Structure 1
Amino acid sequence: MVSIRLRTPGVVACLAPALLAYGLSRVVPAASPLLVAILLGVVSAAVLSTTPRTAPGEGYAARTLLRAGVVLLGLQLSLQQVADLGPGVIALIMLVVVSGIGVSLAVGRMLGLPWNHRLLIGCGFSICGAAAVAAIDGVVDAEEEETASAVALVVVFGTAMIGIVPLVAGLLHLSPDVAGLWAGASIHEVAQVVAAGGVVGGSALAVAVVVKLGRVLLLAPVAAWVSWRRRTTGAADTRQPPLVPVFVVGFLAMVLLRTWTTPPHAVLEAAAATQTILLAVAMFALGRGVRIDRMRAAGAAPFVLAALATGWVSALGLAGALLLG
């Protein structure tokens, strides 16, 4: 076991730029702290190599702290909120997630991308952005370049949707409820959904956030499915992952806690901030392990898949919103 003393230098080295990225996002809401953190990690890795002193902490941040951030994400979601959406919206959420992942896997295969890479992109674009990428990476143990590119793509395309959804909603004269439903069913990150819902105005924000959190809830069964698939298709001599990873159990426990209790608003705000900082720390650590030449070797295929996944999820979300609206 690596002691806390050995991990501390690397964790501290990752925490400082993560706090910088988080602070920037508070001043400039459009600046995603996860994207900023991972970019800082890539740049720093090109200037300073990982040392034996910081390596244990960087590895701890990229795995354990990342999973802790996913666990805290569960506090944002109540099962009652999802139940209140009604069967039609719940069916739309499931269709967006399942078909989004399926289309990404199929198209990614035609583009020549490896299974882990296209799975990370599919889950990130269909479920809940960087948090989903982080959670699924914790199950499949993908290459650092694959995780980094999936996070960057999901943040870039999701940020673009903040402007696109309100613009198109206005052109189509959608009501705030329908526009909010579309935003919640289509946009990748929770923070991006909040931004888009706020631009639309009216009741759009409340509808968008609840629908989005319904997608977040599917992170647990998808992670369990990925773990089960890895167990059943892995080689006999490899270490098999648990059917339901421990951090997914923690995520579900937080969901149940939020369902059965009403934590004070200050607690929820603190948990949300802590979750973002933990994920930013992990993103910086992941960025430190990125090799630009290997990412360049992947070519345009990840970008093409990201564009197609965004288009699919957005079109399906809009069709469902119009039908249910």
Structure 2
Amino acid sequence: MADSNVNQQTKAIRQNGIQKWFEQQKYWIGGVAFTFFIALLGYLLALAPGFSYVGQLACAIIIAITYRQIFGYPEAIRAGVTFSAKKLLRLAIILYGLRLNINVVLSDGLGLLLRDAFVILFAILMMIWLAKVFKADKSISLLLGVGTGVCGAAAIAAVAPIIKSRDEDTAIGVGIIALMGTVFSIIYILLRPVLPISPLDYGIWSGISLHELAHVALAAEPAGDDPLAMALLAKLGRVFLLIPLCFVLIYIMKFRNKGSDESNAKIAFPWFLLGFIALSIFGTYVLGNTIPVSEGMLEGIYSLTTWLLTAAMVGLGLSVSFNDLRTKAVRPLIAMTITSVLLSIVAFFIV
């Protein structure tokens, strides 16, 4: 009789454990699905007149931040939202490596690489200096400097874990970079007809100075196919330099923390960066050569990358409060505006 009671209790505990596990998985799936649902809303909003210039990523972040202010953080599905913000973000960066054709950059863009390196260094150092002048948040300012100099949201996402940026700071940085890049790309389009510069040089100028790959394409496309190709080549050079930049930042963070109270806190190596490098090599030398692939399939992968990145940014955006925006975003935004203007001017004269 006693053994029967023990068996029944054991069975009940096991059933409760299984039920609890299924409950957790349900909320986890719900959290991931929720981030993709807001990503879908961002996509639909980006189809509306005017919002098409802003893009799906920025629209989704705006919706996520607005939801947080009205309804609060969705605590019940936190696990799934966190999964999107952390794991899907890294997967998106890895897949982003397929966009980088290393062979093209090294064979045709070596001259551009030098200018790209100068642009990245200028943007980061200028943001760091202006952050001190305006007493702006250091973490957000550094993220914006990297995003401005390299490749926008993808660069911010890659660097954030290295400098131990908080999720809300990363989301604020991504939102600002997406919005500012859109504004500057539209300004470039309006200025193009009156600038004393050839179409090809205009393409190079766009490629070495604008924030996101999408912003470069938006600004350079009206100039024609050849200027657009040069713009994308120049931009790919900046994406390529994200790899050594991350390793430099890892070294700087370790050196800065050496001998301090934070010295025991190891800098987490961004293993997803190795995935980014591996897919860059795979996409350059294997995909399309040894393994045939259609343009449609590549576009499908690029679209998947965009959706994953958008869902991840929704997860980050849900952690942002208006109080954070009011107290932490204004001064970095001012510093970034100044940096972007100066970068555009400097880049114009080195083209």
TM score, norm. by length of structure 2: 0.85
Separation of aligned partners in 1, 2:157 and 2:329: 22
- The match for 1:268 is 298
Give the alignment partner of residue 96 of structure 2, picking from 73, 91, 116: 73
Percent identity between matched residues is: 27
SS at match of 1:29: helix
Separation of aligned partners in 2, 1:86 and 1:133: 24
- Give 1:9 deviation, angstroms: 1.6
Q: Which runs of 5+ in 1 are unaligned?
A: none
Of the structure 1 ranges 254-263 and 186-195, higher mean CA displacement relative to structure 2 is found in 254-263
- Give 1:138 deviation, angstroms: 2.7
| 1:259 alignment partner AA | T
- The match for 1:171 is 194
Separation of aligned partners in 1, 2:63 and 2:97: 27
Give the alignment partner of residue 39 of structure 2, picking from 4, 13, 18: 18
- Give 1:305 deviation, angstroms: 0.9
- Give 1:5 deviation, angstroms: 5.1
Separation of aligned partners in 2, 1:172 and 1:240: 46
| Deviation sequence 1:204-225 (CA, Å, 0-9, x none) | 1111111111111111221222
| 1:246 alignment partner AA | W
| 1:250 alignment partner AA | G
| 2:54 alignment partner AA | A
Q: Is residue 84 of structure 1 aligned with residue 107 of structure 2? A: yes
- The match for 2:330 is 300
Separation of aligned partners in 2, 1:191 and 1:273: 12
- The match for 1:192 is 215
- The match for 2:122 is 99
Q: CA RMSD in A?
A: 2.0
Separation of aligned partners in 2, 1:69 and 1:86: 25
Q: Is residue 231 of structure 1 aligned with residue 254 of structure 2? A: yes
Give the alignment partner of residue 254 of structure 1, picking from 261, 272, 279: 279
Contact 1:90 1:214 in 2 (8 A): yes
- Give 1:6 deviation, angstroms: 5.0
| Deviation sequence 1:89-110 (CA, Å, 0-9, x none) | 2211111112211111121122
Larger Rg: 2
- The match for 2:152 is 129
Change (3 A) 1:65 1:4: farther
- The match for 1:313 is 343
Of the structure 1 ranges 113-122 and 268-277, higher mean CA displacement relative to structure 2 is found in 113-122
- Give 1:20 deviation, angstroms: 2.3
| 1:305 alignment partner AA | A
Separation of aligned partners in 2, 1:118 and 1:177: 32
| 1:238 alignment partner AA | A
Contact 1:41 1:288 in 2 (8 A): yes
Of the structure 1 ranges 165-174 and 89-98, higher mean CA displacement relative to structure 2 is found in 165-174
| 1:159 alignment partner AA | T
- The match for 1:63 is 86
TM score, norm. by length of structure 1: 0.91
